[in-house]
């Protein structure tokens, strides 16, 4: 969960603490942010009754004893005591769904993930959104002045993999539009770093809400020198509707859906790498780099990582866990924190990379070493396609991990 | 911009979906037969105001705007590139 939203969630939890402590608390949307909220509530001594989720596959599971149930189950709750807390970007849709079901209790948005949406047509809402749009237009005009003559590319979501896909096909897209110079705008430094690895000369990090307001201005003005390079954000992008009918791998979604490029267009490789300065500490060809953490993917069974560590450890490999921020190295491994643009040199020195399928796998896609991507058993968003169907990577051994999976040496 | 919010609210109550169709796609979508959905053709009368509002913010998740936009990816790109047939494209809109 982004630090910005996490802090907003904590602030709002404190604001509503008295109310929450006296209520029957339900959470809506089983995702990383909701689980972070569940942890905070449990620390406060509040045990949520359940996590509501529309996905049939998630229903029946539980998180720390909190069952995942269908949203309809809320109707059994005491409307006077029940309260639903939401920390996902689908607050508006979830709020509408609960009200349509007949839920009368309080519904609280604990983080404003989605400044694009407000399901109201009141004069007050329209005025407020028009003011936000005007602010966005000012921001956009400022950027057009700053990067005069350049094509402006907006990446609305903080996800490394999305940036990789966007950047991979950007040169072909720019050529089709007759532009050479461009600037990329991302919501985080990590995403900006990825754009730089792909050769972007002008990259700027924008605070999320300002980025969204600017993107709103792009939508409204239809400025042809601007582009929103994402496969499902913001709301006006409806590419995902095709996925309810047909499997379209994410690379094709970007190439053909986002950019309208021919199917045979090849992605470019990132080339702006730097050499890790401590490469000599990494035994060449006898090291494994593990990447067990991913922002928006549920972790896999710890036993699998234990078995991987035992396997490679018994063969004399040195094992590192790639860690960022407060992440801890796995037991019997050493933590490795390097810059994104150093990762290729690290992997090629090490010889082996095993990671949960995350954006980092996209970043290191072209590293010349043995690479394995592990896919937890989940569906892509609310479609019927498995994650491995949507974004298995060429050059990797792609391993789907279902219940009962055992690591094979 | 004067929005007839009451009209829009009425449509949202009456219909499961509001499909706003860019008039440049009108010919292709003449086969688009929907039940329980309101099809609104952009650039025709009041529809311009609705498109204008939709470009200002997301006031409902039951609106789908179908166009040949150039600022972001669209379903129609899939038809252009051969990823979807026209029938699959229409099916995707129907939901």
User: DSSP assignment of A34-98, as one string?
Assistant: HHHHHHHHHHTT---SEEE-S-TTTTT-EETTEEEE-GGGGGGS-TTTEEEEE-STTHHHHHHHH
Residue of B nearest to A247 (CA): B83
Confidence (pLDDT) at B33: 61
Question: Would an 8 Å CB–CB cutoff place B48 in contact with chain A?
Answer: no
Q: Which residues contact A373 (CB under 8 A, 6 or more apart)?
A: A355, A356, A357, A361, A392, A393, A396, A397, A398, A399
Within this chain, do residues A341 and A285 fall inside the same structural domain, yes or no? yes
Q: Which residue, among A196, A217, A192, has the nearest Cα to A205 in the 3D structure?
A: A192
Helix (H, G, I), strand (E, B) or coil at A326: coil
Residues of chain B with Cβ-Cβ distance to A235 below 8 Å are: 58, 61
Tokens 């490789």 sit on residue:
A269
Strands of the A287-291 sheet, one edge to the other: A334-336, A318-322, A287-291, A351-356, A370-376, A397-401
Confirm whether A264 is domain-assigned. no
Kindly tell me if the per-residue pLDDT of A228 is higher than 90.
Answer: yes
Per the confidence metrics, is the pTM higher than 0.90? Answer: no
Question: Would an 8 Å CB–CB cutoff place B30 in contact with chain A?
Answer: no
Q: What percent of chain A has pLDDT over 70?
A: 100
Residues of chain B with Cβ-Cβ distance to A96 below 8 Å are: 61
Kindly tell me if the per-residue pLDDT of A56 is higher than 90.
Answer: no
Q: What percent of chain A has pLDDT over 90?
A: 77
Residues of chain B with Cβ-Cβ distance to A251 below 8 Å are: none
Of the residues B37, B72, B88, the best mutation for testing chain A's interface (the one with the most A CB atoms within 10 Å of its CB) is: B72
Question: Would an 8 Å CB–CB cutoff place B18 in contact with chain A?
Answer: no
Kindly tell me if the per-residue pLDDT of A400 is higher than 90.
Answer: yes
Contact (Cβ atoms closer than 8 angstroms) between residue B73 and residue A257: yes
Confirm whether A10 is domain-assigned. yes
How many alpha carbons fall within 13 Å on the CB side of residue A77? Answer: 28
Domain residue extents for chain B: 5-68
Question: Would an 8 Å CB–CB cutoff place B19 in contact with chain A?
Answer: no
Question: Would an 8 Å CB–CB cutoff place B80 in contact with chain A?
Answer: yes
Within this chain, do residues A153 and A250 fall inside the same structural domain, yes or no? yes
Q: Is B32 left (phi over 0), alpha (psi -120 to 50) or beta?
A: beta
Within this chain, do residues A165 and A78 fall inside the same structural domain, yes or no? no
Per the document, the length of chain A is: 409
Per the document, the length of chain B is: 95
Residues of chain B with Cβ-Cβ distance to A244 below 8 Å are: 92, 95
Q: Which residue, among A378, A388, A403, A400, has the nearest Cα to A56 in the 3D structure?
A: A378
pLDDT tens sequence across A254-284: 999 999 999 999 999 999 999 999 999 999 9
In this structure, are strands A182-186 and A287-291 parallel, antiparallel, or unpaired?
unpaired
Confirm whether A26 is domain-assigned. yes
Asked if B74 lies within 8 A of A227 by C-beta distance, the reply is: no
Q: How many angstroms separate the CA atoms of A79 and A246, rounded? A: 40
Helix (H, G, I), strand (E, B) or coil at A314: helix
Nearest CA-CA distance, residue A310 and chain B, Å: 45
Kindly tell me if the per-residue pLDDT of B28 is higher than 70.
Answer: no
Whole domain around residue A72: which residue ranges?
3-109
How many Cβ atoms from other residues are within 10 Å of residue A147's Cβ?
17
- Domain total in chain A: 3
Question: Would an 8 Å CB–CB cutoff place B8 in contact with chain A?
Answer: yes
Confidence (pLDDT) at B23: 63
Question: Would an 8 Å CB–CB cutoff place A131 in contact with chain B?
Answer: no
Question: Would an 8 Å CB–CB cutoff place A205 in contact with chain B?
Answer: no
Asked if B88 lies within 8 A of A242 by C-beta distance, the reply is: yes
Question: Would an 8 Å CB–CB cutoff place B33 in contact with chain A?
Answer: no
Question: Would an 8 Å CB–CB cutoff place B86 in contact with chain A?
Answer: no
Name the strand (E) or helix (H) holding A151.
Answer: strand A151-154
Rg (CA), chain B: 13
Q: Which residue, among A346, A362, B79, has the nearest Cα to A337 in the 3D structure?
A: A346
Within this chain, do residues A215 and A320 fall inside the same structural domain, yes or no? no
> Phi and psi of A377, rounded to 5°?
-80, 90
Q: For A139-150, what is the mean pLDDT?
A: 98
Within this chain, do residues A254 and A283 fall inside the same structural domain, yes or no? no
How many Cβ atoms from other residues are within 10 Å of residue A16's Cβ?
15
Residues of chain B with Cβ-Cβ distance to A220 below 8 Å are: 52, 55-56
Within this chain, do residues A168 and A210 fall inside the same structural domain, yes or no? yes
Residues of chain A with Cβ-Cβ distance to B52 below 8 Å are: 220
Domain end, chosen from A81, A109, A137, is at A109
Confirm whether A396 is domain-assigned. yes
Helix (H, G, I), strand (E, B) or coil at A256: helix
> Phi and psi of A202, rounded to 5°?
-110, 110
Asked if A222 lies within 8 A of B69 by C-beta distance, the reply is: yes
Confidence label for A4 from pLDDT (cuts 50, 70 and 90): confident
Question: Would an 8 Å CB–CB cutoff place A381 in contact with chain B?
Answer: no
Q: For A112-131, what is the mean pLDDT?
A: 90
Domain end, chosen from A51, A74, A109, is at A109
Question: Would an 8 Å CB–CB cutoff place B34 in contact with chain A?
Answer: no
Within this chain, do residues A246 and A298 fall inside the same structural domain, yes or no? no
Within this chain, do residues A89 and A135 fall inside the same structural domain, yes or no? no
Nearest by CB: B77 against A132, A244, A256: A256
Helix (H, G, I), strand (E, B) or coil at A177: helix
Asked if B75 lies within 8 A of A241 by C-beta distance, the reply is: yes
Of A20-29, A97-106, A268-277, B10-19, the poorest mean pLDDT is in B10-19
Confirm whether A344 is domain-assigned. yes
Confirm whether A273 is domain-assigned. no
Name the β-bridge partners of A321. A290, A335
Question: Would an 8 Å CB–CB cutoff place B13 in contact with chain A?
Answer: no
Within this chain, do residues A205 and A244 fall inside the same structural domain, yes or no? yes
Q: Which residue, among A153, A219, A157, A156, has the nearest Cα to A182 in the 3D structure?
A: A153
Confirm whether A406 is domain-assigned. no
Specify burial of residue A122 (Cβ count, 10 A radius: 0-12, 13-18, 19+). Answer: exposed
Structure-block tokens of residue A109:
């948005």
Nearest by CB: A219 against B55, B59, B61: B55
Contact (Cβ atoms closer than 8 angstroms) between residue A341 and residue A193: yes
Kindly tell me if the per-residue pLDDT of A93 is higher than 60.
Answer: yes
Within this chain, do residues A229 and A179 fall inside the same structural domain, yes or no? yes
Q: What percent of chain B has pLDDT over 90?
A: 24
Q: For A11-22, what is the mean pLDDT?
A: 89
Confirm whether A272 is domain-assigned. no
Angle CA A238–A359–A294, to nearest 5? 105
């Amino acid at each position: 969960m982004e630090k910005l939203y996490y802090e907003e969630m904590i602030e709002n939890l404190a604001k509503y603490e008295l109310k929450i402590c006296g209520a029957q608390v339900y959470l809506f949307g089983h995702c990383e942010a909701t689980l972070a909220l569940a942890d905070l509530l449990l620390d406060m001594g509040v045990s949520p009754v359940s996590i509501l989720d529309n996905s049939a596959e998630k229903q029946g599971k539980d998180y720390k004893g909190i069952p995942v149930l269908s949203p309809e189950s809320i109707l059994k709750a005491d409307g006077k005591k029940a309260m639903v807390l939401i920390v996902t970007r689908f607050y508006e849709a979830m709020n509408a769904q609960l009200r349509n079901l007949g839920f009368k209790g309080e519904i609280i948005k604990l983080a404003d993930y989605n400044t694009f949406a407000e399901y109201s047509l009141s004069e007050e809402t329209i005025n407020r959104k028009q003011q936000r749009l005007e602010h966005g237009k000012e921001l956009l005009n400022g950027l057009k002045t700053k990067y005069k003559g350049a094509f402006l590319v907006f990446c609305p979501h903080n996800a490394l993999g999305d940036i990789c896909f966007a950047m991979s096909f950007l040169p072909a897209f720019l050529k089709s539009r007759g532009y050479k110079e461009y600037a990329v705008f991302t919501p985080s430094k990590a995403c900006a770093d990825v754009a730089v690895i792909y050769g972007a000369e002008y990259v700027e990090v924008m605070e999320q809400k300002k980025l969204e307001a600017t993107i709103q201005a792009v939508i409204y003005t239809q400025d042809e020198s601007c582009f929103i390079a994402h496969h499902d954000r913001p709301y006006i992008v409806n590419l995902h509707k095709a996925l309810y009918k047909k499997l379209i791998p994410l690379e094709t979604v970007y190439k053909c859906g986002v950019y309208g490029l021919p199917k045979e267009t090849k992605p470019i490789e990132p080339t702006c790498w730097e050499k890790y300065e401590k490469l000599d500490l990494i035994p060449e060809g006898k090291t494994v780099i593990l990447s067990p953490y991913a922002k928006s993917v549920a972790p896999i069974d710890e036993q699998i990582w234990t078995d991987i560590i035992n396997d490679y450890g018994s063969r004399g490999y040195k094992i590192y866990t790639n860690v960022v921020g407060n992440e801890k190295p796995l037991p019997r491994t050493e933590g490795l924190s390097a810059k994104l643009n150093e990762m290729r040199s690290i992997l090629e020195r090490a010889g082996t990379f095993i990671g949960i399928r995350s954006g980092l796998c996209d970043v290191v896609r072209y590293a010349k070493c043995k690479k394995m991507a592990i896919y937890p058993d989940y569906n892509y968003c609310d479609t019927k396609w498995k994650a491995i169907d949507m974004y298995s990577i060429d050059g990797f051994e792609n391993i789907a991990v279902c219940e009962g999976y055992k690591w094979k040496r | 911009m004067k929005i007839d919010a009451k009209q829009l609210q009425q449509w949202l109550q009456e219909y499961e979906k509001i499909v706003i169709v860019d008039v440049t796609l009108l010919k292709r979508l003449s086969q688009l037969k929907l039940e329980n959905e309101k099809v609104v053709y952009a650039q025709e009368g009041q529809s311009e105001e609705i498109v204008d509002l939709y470009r200002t913010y997301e006031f409902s998740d039951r609106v789908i705007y179908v166009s040949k936009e150039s600022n972001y990816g669209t379903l129609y790109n899939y038809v252009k590139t051969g990823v979807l047939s026209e029938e699959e494209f229409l099916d995707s809109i129907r939901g």
